[in-house]
A = this chain, B = another copy of it.
Amino acid sequence: MATTPRQRPQRTDRPSAAPTTPSPESSASAPTPATTPATTPATTPGVTPAVGATIYSVAERAGVSIATVSRVLQGRAVVSEATRQKVLEAVESLHYVPLGAARSLAVRHHEAYGLVIPELTGPYYSELLMGFETRAAELGQSVILLLANGKSDVPGAVGHLATRVDGIAVLGSAALPPTLARALRGRKPVVVIAGSSPHVPGGDSVELVAAENVHSAEQLTAHVLDHGRSRLLYVGDPDPAPDISERYAGFVAAHAARGLVAAEPVRVPFRESEGVAVADRILSGELEADALVCANDELALSIMTRLQDAGRDVPGDIAVVGWDDVMTSRYVRPGMTTVRQPVHELGVLAAERLHQRVDGAAPLPAPVLLPTEVVLRGSCGCPTP
């Protein structure tokens, strides 16, 4: 077996330093006329050289082996202070930037997590993302963001994402999870955020984290009923999003607890323009209600404002409550009664669970639920401070 060992072929930018020529220091400058210091590569100034320094060039420059370079860069093994300095200098003068892909290949980890969300309008997604990125970074992981809305081939995009991450977190409030489950077939750990168990296929490799919805929705609805309102309408479409449907369930439950039967939901998308349309249907008499429980604040705000502009009194004529506690809800008059979710924590939790899973932990059998908080302001009928 003592055949010629595999020997790295000579690279164009590296002189053929034969192993029989152990010139200790700058063997790189040998073939080059020693006019300019080797620090400046012979490229047009201001232009990134086509190929950067590698661990080999650094090792050569420092007069050590690539293993040693790797050691000082990883900071793992012990290296003598002298050689460490030589290496660091070489790194510096060569402007060495390691190639992440090569490391990933060697360590068999991408050291990155994917996050799939529909878009980024409103504070919900942003806070989620901030929580996720923050925790992921603490755990030494990069985050690759995939915005699903507007992508023509979401399954394809998710598949591509799977190619470069160790795990994926996905927002359940969309048609994403089924798509994703199909695209992944359990090959990567998945954490579904704000989804609900029945909606998530491929269940054995996915895990759920969410904010509590049913109970707080019931609580909020009960509060509105306590204000003496009797004709409540739920505004929002429970079908596509598990969390919205859970909130509607709470709405129904609050009615049932008093022997009342809840009205069917007013199914509209989450757009401000839709809120205006709903308000108009109320103004025209098509819809009758003395209180509106809206699936989110955007809807609630646009409805309330439109109603007010048309001369209706909120909450006098009609109460309006939302969900999410966006900034605007603090600024409008009356203040919007709403529910605050621990969205940031949800992101943190998702990153955390993903990390556990990638580390080999089994998925938690039951979803992790984070508590929410009802925020009472004026729009529900509470006295304004």
Query: Interface residues, chain A, CB within 8 Å of chain B?
Result: 3-4, 6, 45-48, 51-52, 95, 97-105, 108, 110, 112, 119-121, 123, 125-127, 129-130, 133-134, 137, 142-147, 150-151, 157, 159-164, 184-189, 204-205, 301, 305, 327-328, 331-333, 362
Looking at the assembled complex, report how far the CB atom of A376 sits from the nearest CB atom of chain B, in whole angstroms: 19
**Pairwise interchain contact A142-B142, C-beta atoms closer than 8 A:** no
Can you report 13 residue pairs joining A to B where beta carbons are below 8 Å apart? Answer: A6-B6, A46-B186, A48-B189, A100-B104, A101-B104, A105-B105, A134-B147, A134-B150, A137-B146, A142-B144, A142-B160, A144-B145, A327-B328
Rounded to whole angstroms, the CA-CA distance of A74 and B133 in the bound complex is 31
Cβ of A101 and Cβ of B110 under 8 Å apart?
A: yes
With A48-B186, A48-B189, A331-B305 as given contacts, are A145 and B147 in contact (CB-CB < 8 Å)?
Answer: no
* Cα-based distance from A110 to B52 in the complex (angstroms): 14
A133 — nearest CB in chain B belongs to which residue? B147
Contact status A97-B137, CB under 8 Å? no
Q: Which residues of B contact A332 (CB under 8 A)?
A: 331-332
Q: Please tell me if the beta carbons of A48 and B205 are within 8 angstroms of each other in the complex.
A: yes
The residue that A145 contacts in the complex, of B3, B99, B145, with Cβ under 8 A, is: B145
With known contacts A123-B121, A328-B328, A145–B164 Cβ distance under 8 A? no
CA of A6 to CA of B4, assembled, Å: 10
The interface centre, meaning the residue of A51, A130, A150 with most chain B CB atoms within 10 A of its CB, is A130
**Inter-chain contact B157/A95, CB cutoff 8 Å:** no
Contacts A120-B130, A205-B48: A101 and B97 contacting too (C-beta < 8 A)? no
Are A97 and B46 CB-contacts (below 8 A) given A112-B144, A119-B130, A121-B126?
Answer: no
Cβ-defined contact, A97 with B327, below 8 A: no
Give bound CA distance, A19 to B132, whole Å: 49
In the assembly, what is the distance between CA of A267 and CA of B378, in Å? 34
